[in-house]
Structure 1
Amino acid sequence: MNKSFFKFTILNQITEFVNKYCSLSILSPYDVNLILRENEYCHIFPKGSRLKGFDTNQLASNNPIEDSRTEASLIHTNGFVCGVFDGHGGPACSQVVSKRLLRYLAASLVPYDTLCKELSEGATSQSFLKCHNDKVDFVKEIRDLYEESFLRYVHLSLANKKYDIKERIENSVISLDEDLSREALEYPNVRTMSVAMSGAVACVALVTDVNVYIANIGDCAAVIGSCSESGQWITKVLTHEHNSDNIAEVKRILSEHPVKEKDTVIRNDRLLGQLAPLRALGDFRYKWSKNILKQVVVPKFGEIAVPLHYNTPPYLTAKPEVICHKILENDKFLVIASDGLWDFLSPTQVVNLVGEHILGKAFLEPFSFMENHTIKKAFVTLTQRKDGKKHKPLDQNSATHLIRNALGGTEYGIEHSKLSYYLSLPKDISRQYRDDITITVLFFNNDIKNSKTLS
């Protein structure tokens, strides 16, 4: 669906709702801030790191929230990896994938000799990365199964010594998806089946010394914010949405099935008339054979679990689209977010808002003249600081700043009543007007020559 049309429709619906339920209480600014900042997190890296730091936040609409996010520094290689995961059909798949995928990816990037050494010393799935703001883990019952799958994946990976980062990223995603399928079929229980029958789209970012690699599956998105020599913000969209608006994606799917299915593979802008994203992890009711669905799925979930016109599976893939972007001197930050944000803000608006937030925060910090600053660059910096005075941020966290503007922004600034109404909607109604929103903003350090390990 066209984003601007969707946004316009939502605003009309919310207005009708407010008029109908005029008794809905208005939240105070204090209450609004408590809600918006409940899940925010900020991390600052040591000086000399490739990244200055990152901000992240999420705001639920579904109950429970179906979005997940994870951020981690790589231990044995110099890098950082993070991901935003947008679940559907329940939170199970996104919650599991958000933890496991980064572990698979981190292990796949470890040099061969180091990996062999770690395995000989009893390495686990958490031996290759250091997670930030991750306070929970899987229960033992399922953790042991996941550890078995992880070690199996790592040993199989040892056979491929070719070091191509794009291939490693792609293989880690596909291997995890295959493990989710195998676990559900070999150990069918409430936990494994809930993961298999729900699904998740994802946008994962891997930052190395010189590059950003984006693995995109579905309809999350990633954008780079760059600053020109004149101080203007430039938007670089790195991802393509895998949905029916993507003509190339539609052609890909149609080419994989008989011509006689051209009217049933995608109906009403959805896969088999049901699923909006055309790539996803999990969702094995669109991947397993018809015999498996009848033997495993139908006894537990009924005939309704088998989609209509299910003739030549698989219809869905978890294969990511991997993009490599070389970090340029003018690249200042990367934003990855679930579609709950992009339903309200365009990539250009997001970049301008984060850029505005950076300038506003810079005004509050003491100015220091860097060795590599030219007179022209210093003049631009000082001008930006002066402009930042006008945009003194209400939120220290840039992800929170984006959520506040997404829900309450107008051409005249933040409208408190609009923001309050969105946050006041009852749980059983909220999903009709907006989706879960999850955002991570990474800030590049452009003033370094040699980076240190991100820790």
Structure 2
Amino acid sequence: MLRKCVNPFGKSLDGDQLLWHTDLKPHASGDFSIAVVQANSNLEDQSQVLTSPSATYVGVFDGHGGPEASRFVNGHLFRWIDKYATQEGRMSTNVIKKAFSATEEGFLRVVKNSIQIRPQIAQVGSCCLVGVISNGELYVANLGDSRVVLGKKVSDKGKTRVVAERLSSDHNVSLVEVRKEVEAQHPGDSHIVVYCHGGWRIKGIIQVSRSIGDFFLKKPEFNRDQFLMQYGNQVPLKRPALTAEPSIISRKLRPQDLFLIFASDGLWDHLTDEEAVDIVRIHPRRGIAKRLVGTALDKATKKRELRYNDIKKIEKGVRRRIHDDITVIVIYLDQQKKLANGTKLGCTSPPVDIFSCKDDKKTHLVQHT
């Protein structure tokens, strides 16, 4: 049975009514911290942390064109992962691939059922970043340009330091290698990626090459003038311009792996991997996600020659001119050290908690089983 508690993100940062956070909570392998700041009229970032005595699931879902796709992913992807893992009797890359495919098909049904009432829903999509920690193994699956970075200890000439290791790949055609990948998948289509509006975009419209949704760039039946009037011309499709096939990596966690930073691109627009890892390394755990968000906001306002205090009163939607929605989840990996020393996870681990940040009439939910 699920019990809902209203507004666990009840704390705001220095009076910023568009920022919510939880300072520190337990998960199966240590502690985690989460913070979310809204910039768009509707919060398009969605996020989850689900933990049981033997596993931890982390999700950052960055929507575009509207919140419908990211909300759908937030409500369904982990259920599919859990279902397929139960069927196989273990976690695997195949489980995660099947869950992403089922989520894409599920949202496609939503779009088909809604298209007559709301044609624009064919243009709604979401990036998806997922982390699963199970039996000492870390799985990372990604669509789009959200990112996870590992902070780990390394020894160099007798000295120990903490360095950043990026564990996900950005699927964004602003990167040369991604442009080449997309162009290679569409031989004979010289307009598959074009430079416009200050950057490289698929069909002149979107920068990410992988997503859930965005069916007007995947399926011909949604590729009509009514969807594309705002772009000035029809965008012919010989094959899907985007894909929902995630890039997935798996690796054994090691004692030198200290923490993971999962974040939407709103954070990485302003912080490098190394800057984010250094902030987590040198500051206390409590409120660390809030600190990362605050640092990004400070940099964003300085670029506009403003102070952070200046944007606190700016309304959502208008605030998008200064920064994007930002979601940050920091996962500490304490239990990996204990497991390396022979300590087993037992029944003292926390119960299953799902921390979800949703913009549903400004209600932010935590669900407990």
User: 1:329-350 CA deviation, whole Å, 9 max, x = no partner?
Assistant: 1111100100110111100000
For structure 2, list consecutive stretches of 5 or more residues without a partner in the other structure: 1-10, 301-305, 352-369
Find the partner of 2:166 among 237, 245, 248.
237
Structure 1 position 103, deviation (Å): 1.1
Q: Which has the higher strand share?
A: 2
**TM-score (normalizing by structure 1):** 0.65
Question: In structure 1, how many angstroms separate the alpha carbons of the residues matched to 2:232 and 2:88?
Answer: 43
User: 1:185-204 CA deviation, whole Å, 9 max, x = no partner?
Assistant: 2565658x665431110111
Percent identity of the aligned residues? 24
Question: In structure 2, how many angstroms separate the alpha carbons of the residues matched to 1:93 and 1:432?
Answer: 22
Residue in structure 2 matched with residue 58 of structure 1 by the alignment: 36
Secondary structure in 2 matching 1:206: strand
Question: In structure 2, how many angstroms separate the alpha carbons of the residues matched to 1:197 and 1:309?
Answer: 13
For structure 1, list consecutive stretches of 5 or more residues without a partner in the other structure: 1-29, 114-162, 362-395, 411-416
Secondary structure in 1 matching 2:251: strand
Check if 1:397 corresponds to 2:307: no
Structure 1 position 310, deviation (Å): 1.4
**TM-score (normalizing by structure 2):** 0.79
Secondary structure in 2 matching 1:64: coil
Question: In structure 1, how many angstroms separate the alpha carbons of the residues matched to 2:98 and 2:232?
Answer: 28
Residue in structure 2 matched with residue 40 of structure 1 by the alignment: 21
Letter of the structure 1 residue corresponding to residue 190 of structure 2: K
Structure 1 position 224, deviation (Å): 0.5
Q: Is the 8 A contact 2:210 2:243 kept in 1?
A: yes
Question: In structure 2, how many angstroms separate the alpha carbons of the residues matched to 1:31 and 1:73?
Answer: 25
Q: Is the 8 A contact 1:36 1:400 kept in 2?
A: no
For these two proteins, the number of residue pairs brought into alignment is: 323
Q: Is the 8 A contact 2:35 2:329 kept in 1?
A: yes
Check if 1:436 corresponds to 2:320: no
Check if 1:167 corresponds to 2:113: no
Find the partner of 2:49 among 45, 61, 71.
71
Structure 1 position 352, deviation (Å): 0.4
Question: In structure 1, how many angstroms separate the alpha carbons of the residues matched to 2:37 and 2:45?
Answer: 9
Q: Is the 8 A contact 1:55 1:399 kept in 2?
A: yes
Q: Cα distance 1:204–1:195, how it changes in 2: closer, same or farther (>3 A)?
A: farther
Q: Cα distance 1:306–1:99, how it changes in 2: closer, same or farther (>3 A)?
A: farther
Residue in structure 2 matched with residue 249 of structure 1 by the alignment: 178
Letter of the structure 2 residue corresponding to residue 247 of structure 1: V
User: 1:361-414 CA deviation, whole Å, 9 max, x = no partner?
Assistant: 5xxxxxxxxxxxxxxxxxxxxxxxxxxxxxxxxxx311001111222269xxxx
Letter of the structure 1 residue corresponding to residue 287 of structure 2: N
Q: Cα distance 1:181–1:431, how it changes in 2: closer, same or farther (>3 A)?
A: same
Residue in structure 2 matched with residue 280 of structure 1 by the alignment: 211
Structure 1 position 252, deviation (Å): 2.5
Question: In structure 1, how many angstroms separate the alpha carbons of the residues matched to 2:99 and 2:233?
Answer: 28
Secondary structure in 1 matching 2:135: coil
Question: In structure 1, how many angstroms separate the alpha carbons of the residues matched to 2:30 and 2:249?
Answer: 22
Find the partner of 2:86 among 100, 110, 113.
110
Q: Which has the higher helix share?
A: 1
Q: Is the 8 A contact 1:32 1:420 kept in 2?
A: no
Residue in structure 2 matched with residue 180 of structure 1 by the alignment: 107
Q: Cα distance 1:357–1:61, how it changes in 2: closer, same or farther (>3 A)?
A: same
User: 1:150-191 CA deviation, whole Å, 9 max, x = no partner?
Assistant: xxxxxxxxxxxxx67111111211221022113432565658
Q: 5 Å matches for 1:27-426?
A: 32-35=13-16, 38-45=19-26, 49=28, 51-74=29-52, 78-112=54-88, 165-185=92-112, 188=115, 190=117, 196-228=122-154, 230-259=159-188, 261-268=189-196, 269-289=200-220, 291-294=221-224, 298=226, 301=227, 303-304=229-230, 308-358=234-284, 396-408=286-298, 418-426=307-315
Question: In structure 2, how many angstroms separate the alpha carbons of the residues matched to 1:190 and 1:443?
Answer: 45
Residue in structure 2 matched with residue 376 of structure 1 by the alignment: none
Residue in structure 1 matched with residue 338 of structure 2 by the alignment: 447
